[in-house]
Homo-oligomer: A and B are copies of this chain.
């Protein structure tokens, strides 16, 4: 029986590629998605398609409505920016403590299911903007995981894998192509059209499309409008 890993599966391109890498490393996958009141709920349909494509052992979509907390363009009525990616600033699409919350849930499931490996798709592009996507965050969370849990305290340690940490979007696209993944199943857009197309103008669409261009891999995504 193969070792189990819990993967945080948003349904985006990064989490698809992380899942492909975890599978390639021989893990049997438990995939967690969170329905947190995101405006881009298409992401959750994509997560289910991606989970099936990866052949995960189990996929849990956990409803958890973070809208009551407020504070993000992804859950509130704040406009998603369309004018391009800003360097250095933390975007309004930042959701307070999101990765901490989601990884804590992965950790709880992992401990209960006997998995000691967690996978998350944070990467170099994300961490220029989001504090909870930086290498320091990945290290601090792994440390906490081994202090906070019965398994960790008993020496059966958790490892938090972030295999995309130092990759840009083009390298992620190339990894996806190398792994033979159907990247058209994934969803990136923060502000989908009613017809279910990627808007093409939000930060996430821009980074996705540029990644395919730079990688020289055909982009299977339907965008409403490209910049």
**Interface residues of A, Cβ cutoff 8 Å to B:** 60, 62-66, 68-72, 90, 94-101, 104-105, 107-113, 131-132, 134, 136-137, 140-141, 143-145, 147-150, 152-153
Contacts A63-B63, A64-B64 given: A71-B111 contact, CB under 8 Å?
A: yes
Q: Could you tell me the distance in whole angstroms from the C-beta of A205 to the nearest C-beta in chain B? A: 23
Q: Which residue of B lies closest to A6 (CB)?
A: B69
Copies of this chain, how many? 2
Q: Could you tell me the distance in whole angstroms from the C-beta of A137 to the nearest C-beta in chain B? A: 5
Cα–Cα distance between A97 and B147 once the two chains are bound (Å): 10
Q: For residue A105, which residues in chain B have a CB less than 8 angstroms away from its CB?
A: 97, 101
Q: Could you tell me the distance in whole angstroms from the C-beta of A34 to the nearest C-beta in chain B? A: 9
Give the dominant DSSP class at A's interface: helix
Contacts A99-B148, A148-B99 given: A64-B62 contact, CB under 8 Å?
A: yes
Which one of B136, B140, B149 contacts A97 once the chains associate, using CB atoms below 8 Å?
A: B149
Q: Could you tell me the distance in whole angstroms from the C-beta of A98 to the nearest C-beta in chain B? A: 7
Judge whether B147 and A144 touch: CB under 8 Å: no
Cα–Cα distance between A144 and B98 once the two chains are bound (Å): 13
Cα–Cα distance between A107 and B144 once the two chains are bound (Å): 15
Q: Could you tell me the distance in whole angstroms from the C-beta of A117 to the nearest C-beta in chain B? A: 15
Q: Could you tell me the distance in whole angstroms from the C-beta of A25 to the nearest C-beta in chain B? A: 23
Q: Which residue of B lies closest to A151 (CB)?
A: B96
